[in-house]
Amino acid sequence: MKIQDILTKTRTISFEFFPPREATGINAVLNKIESLQSYSPNFISVTYGAGGSTRKFSEELTTKAKTQYDVEVMAHLTCVGHTVKELDEILERLEASDIENIIALRGDLPNHQRINLTDDSGFEYASDLISHLNRIYSFGIGAACYPEGHPEAVSFEHDIRYAKLKVENGADFLITQLFYDNDDFFRFVDKARAIGINVPIIPGVLPVLSSNQIRKFTRLCGARIPPDLEMQLAKYENDDEGARAMGVEYATCQVQGLWDSGVSGIHFYVLNRSYSVSKILDNLRLERSLL
């Protein structure tokens, strides 16, 4: 089933995993997926690997998860580093494996350098890939958006107009980058609606696993650490176990606030560590049977 159709029927819970660096790690990731199946996710997704380093395993994990579990799987697909022919070959294989949903992304630029493309060599932007998907295939299409603006954007206003272009080119729903202040998400949604973005916008939530990890991630994606969270990160600077416990409580409050506001769903960035997400869902009693 396409995710946009699921969103018309219910608020979704979804989980994002990443592929292993070696083929021997695929079963370990599948075990992590299985460990969260009791929460009856509406869909899961599998990332494409930074710079495409684990692309082969991403595709394999996506198709195996679809086969082994009764859950929709959204495949990540980035256009950086692929020709159109290569993208079409991947899409045809996903189609043959009954994958119905794609989240279309640009991907990380090699060494943050702009890529010079010829007319047939590939796509420069996610919006181009979305247009290609919409024109030729029948996948449900997701796209990324950034509540605080993409770190490479010239301005927040420019970035939100680009999010609108993705929707105009065929994106059926948007999933946000991580954020730690719900007000940033609410402001983004208000501005998105004001310029005509009317598709569902699903907030992405990443629980804290360590102080260093969150500082690294937020620095890379341009997200802000609110003062109250920064105080907690400083408190658990050298205590990863304490940081994880704090992260569960912080994310519990964050997700409760989002859920109470009537969001379309919650997308958890699991990072292949299911413990924190399961504790959050237990705290909130958001098991699918209780929705």
> Active-site residue numbers?
16
Q: The tokens of 227 are what?
A: 């003062």
What's the 3-state SS for 168-194? HCCCCEEEEEECCCHHHHHHHHHHHHH
As a dihedral over the C-alpha atoms of residue 134, residue 138, residue 140, residue 145, rounded to 10 degrees, the angle is -20
Cβ contact 46:62 at 8 Å: yes
Q: The tokens of 125 are what?
A: 């932007």
Report the alpha-carbon angle 58-64-65, nearest 5.
90
User: Rounded to a whole number, what is the distance in angstroms from the first to the last CA of the chain?
Assistant: 20
DSSP string over 232-282: HHHHTTT-HHHHHHHHHHHHHHHHHHHHHTT-SEEEEE-TT-HHHHHHHHH
Amino acid at 165: L
Cβ contact 268:278 at 8 Å: no
The whole-angstrom separation of Cα 216 and Cα 145 is: 20
Phi-psi region of 153 (alpha: psi -120 to 50; beta: other; left: phi over 0): beta
H/E stretch holding 122 reads: none
